[in-house]
Amino acid sequence: MVATGISGNRLLTDEIGAHLLSRVRHDVLDVPGVSHVIIHTGLNDLGLPGAIAFPEPAKLPTAADLITGLTALADRLHTAGLTVIGTTLGPYAGTVYPGYDSEEGQTVRAEVNTWLLGDSHPFDAVVDIAAAVADPDHPTRIRDAYDSGDGLHLNDVGAKAAADAVDLSLLDL
């Protein structure tokens, strides 16, 4: 297994490193033996524009922007013969990072997750990471037991809950 997560990674935009759509060849397609890919990205697309101002906050992507990007990514990976598993965008309401949690971002997250959990997405399967780690009483927030303390990142127990949400039969290795 290879994990190519990058701090501040985004699907659509360069800022803290190159965006995923521009790195997919290096990160996935050029790696020998890859047969399955789990795509877990998008929160930084929604949060970083409000949290990092160069010189002012950038415009948040729309749900259509993220859906177009995720579809292009899935199509590119399918063309290479890979099984592509998507994941919902996890909860992050109340994060300590200023500007990260916006009403607009939460709306886009909900719209993307609705699309992912529907029948029109391009993935071979979708894992509902959001449901696996959300606070049942406040589903836009991470469950306290899974929160690293910043309202955005999972702790080790939360990472295990997210991993446990993956049906291993999807990997048919």
pTM above 0.85, yes or no: yes
Q: Where are the domains of the chain?
A: 20-171
| Predicted local confidence at residue 7, as pLDDT | 53
How confident is the model over 89-118, as pLDDT tens digits? 999 999 998 878 889 999 999 999 999 999
| Rounded distance between C-alpha atoms, residue 172 and residue 26, angstroms | 24
How confident is the model over 122-134, as pLDDT tens digits? 999 999 999 999 9
| Rounded distance between C-alpha atoms, residue 105 and residue 89, angstroms | 11
| Rounded distance between C-alpha atoms, residue 135 and residue 1, angstroms | 29
In the block, which residue shows the tokens 């959001």? 130
Summarize the confidence of residues 15-43 as an average pLDDT.
Answer: 85
Whether CATH 3.40.50.300 fits 20-171:
no
| Rounded distance between C-alpha atoms, residue 41 and residue 66, angstroms | 10
Q: Percent of the chain having pLDDT more than 70?
A: 86
